[in-house]
A and B are shown apart, each in its own frame.
Chain A
Amino acid sequence: MTHEATQITSPPKSSEILLHLGPQHPLQPGPFLLDLKIEGETIREAELKIGYIHKGMEKVFEDRTYIQILPLTDRICYLASNSNNDVYCRGIEELLGIEPTERAKYLRVLTNELCRIQSHLLGIGEYTTDVGFLTMFIYMVREREGVVSLLEAITGSRLNHNYARFGGVAHDLPPGYKEMALKTLGELKKLVKSHDEMLSSDSIYLRRTKGVGVLTTKVASELGVAGPPLRASGVNYDLRRIEPYLVYDELDFNVITQTDGDVFSRVKVRLLEILESIYIIEQCLDQMPSGPYKQDVMPYITRPKPGEVYSRIEDPRGEMGMYIISDGSDKPYRFRIRGPAFATAQALPPLLIGTYVADVAAIAASMDSCTSEVDR
């Protein structure tokens, strides 16, 4: 398997078919086209074509004022909207030369981790439907409801949260939040543990996942794969540990890694990361200082000094970065997003070659790449 082999080079032979999966296919969270050249049930060549929901976000951002961009960052990937808000705000804060308040930092970590939990839950759920396990999907969505409600209680919305602000956050915690959160997360922890046990012991599930779609450490790091797929391939890389932003250096957590790099490990990493995130949230709720949750005075129009910044974050899918150049006006001069899902998506075709048609859905879903973010 080489990672150059990601294009269909020759027309199909008489015993081969060119099978289009996409842009409207049940395996996909969003529209993309996966062309497969198959012989029997085996995939000979694979090619990924993206761009069906290209929104031109980076260019759009250059035509908006800084505060107008903020809600749009939600739409980069609706499952990681909190992380996107946060990485954008930290970039602008660096340009402005301000720091978020101490309480706001904890609140952002709290919402980021909640965001990670709900994204992972949905990711695992989508994955399990792709091996024909609809029940687990519905369980995951049920569990996710509690987490989304926790996010809703803080941010006021369930999907596009638009929570972080320059130098702070939009709202403080509602009264009685800690008890509510600890209760929901305590139940979630038990449920996730039981689901983990179930997914590690079901023989059909194991046969469908062990040793399938192995992403080697070398290919993963060469292609810039990040997040759970990379950690499942045995690379201990997590921005929260390597470059601790916000208050991650004050919190205790483990970076989850697995060694096999197969579908099973990727899902396992996500399951265990949910437990770690719950642990982080519990610490946040304990250690959170009182004080203001936003800056006392902020200028009405944000005009950073000329300069450039690259801020990055470990979002649910890996390393999300935003590169912003300011020319001193109220709009960014240049805006560039480095999304984790794009890198993950380009690792997909080489993984598919030589596998069965039946495994396409499983492998694609285990990468958990977000089409919305890939196309931006």
Chain B
Amino acid sequence: MVLFSHNAIENDFITFLYIEYNSTLIGHLGDDMEIIDTFIPVAIFLLFGLAIPLVIMFLVKQLSPRSKSPVKFTTYESGSVPTGSSKIMFNVEYYAYAILFVLFDVELLFLYPWVTVYVNDVVLNNVENFTTSFSVFAMALFMVVVLLGLLYEWKKGVLQWVK
């Protein structure tokens, strides 16, 4: 198995934009060039994504009928006349989850750079037993702390839909 083809793993997540690409397609260009090469197609797709609905809706405007009846523009509520506004202070019954979600999403963000770093740590430092690898140990410690938090909240009964 090809273990690792990148040669700039030492860099951390923030500097991912500068990782040298080993694709021969753009290999001999500078870093700036590479970013552009990667993201210009994305930008073109972004424009496409924005433009296609607009074009389609323009076509629809030409093809479809228009009506002026105010009844057509009322909100549908199963045939009843809607009472009250829908823009209310909605009671978010899952806020406990939402708070935890923020925590776990941050944890995920830590995991992403770790993915590319840890094996390098093991291989480059010639760690015999991977449990002694610093990156694995550090991440395990971090996860245990986060998990303990989750278990604590679970045990306390916070993890539930609050009626």
- Which DSSP category, helix, strand, loop or mixed, fits chain A's interface? loop
Tell yes or no: A249 within 8 A of B by CB.
no
Tell yes or no: A29 within 8 A of B by CB.
no
Which of B38-46, B73-81, B104-112 sits within the interface? B73-81
Asked if B84 contacts A18 (CB within 8 A), the reply is yes
Within 8 A of A (CB), among B75-92: 77-80, 82-84, 86, 88-92
Q: Which residues of A contact B161 (CB under 8 A)?
A: 41
Nearest opposing residue in chain A for B83, CB measure: A18
Asked if B91 contacts A15 (CB within 8 A), the reply is yes
Asked if B80 contacts A23 (CB within 8 A), the reply is yes
Tell yes or no: A24 within 8 A of B by CB.
yes
Tell yes or no: B61 within 8 A of A by CB.
no
Smallest CB separation, A208 vs chain B (Å)? 15
Q: Which residues of A contact B90 (CB under 8 A)?
A: 15, 40
Number of chain A interface residues as a range: 20 to 34
Number of chain B interface residues as a range: 10 to 19
Asked if B88 contacts A22 (CB within 8 A), the reply is no
Within 8 A of B (CB), among A15-46: 15-25, 31, 33, 39-42
Tell yes or no: A14 within 8 A of B by CB.
yes
Tell yes or no: B37 within 8 A of A by CB.
no
Q: Per-residue 0/1 for B49-74: is the Cβ within 8 Å of any A Cβ (1 yes, 0 no)?
A: 00000000000000000000000000
Asked if B79 contacts A23 (CB within 8 A), the reply is yes
Q: Which residues of A contact B91 (CB under 8 A)?
A: 15-16, 39-40, 42
Asked if A17 contacts B86 (CB within 8 A), the reply is yes
Nearest opposing residue in chain A for B163, CB measure: A42
Tell yes or no: B93 within 8 A of A by CB.
yes
| Residue in B78, B79, B88 whose beta carbon sits within 8 Å of that of A15 in the complex | B88
* Alpha-carbon separation in the docked complex, A41 to B79 (Å): 21
Asked if B78 contacts A16 (CB within 8 A), the reply is no
Smallest CB separation, B84 vs chain A (Å)? 5
Asked if A20 contacts B163 (CB within 8 A), the reply is no
Nearest opposing residue in chain A for B76, CB measure: A24
Q: Which residues of B contact A39 (CB under 8 A)?
A: 91
| Residue in A15, A19, A20, A354 whose beta carbon sits within 8 Å of that of B89 in the complex | A15
Asked if A40 contacts B84 (CB within 8 A), the reply is no
Within 8 A of B (CB), among A92-106: none
Q: Could you show 8 A-B contacts with beta carbons less than 8 Å apart?
A: A15-B88, A15-B90, A17-B86, A18-B83, A20-B77, A23-B79, A39-B91, A41-B161
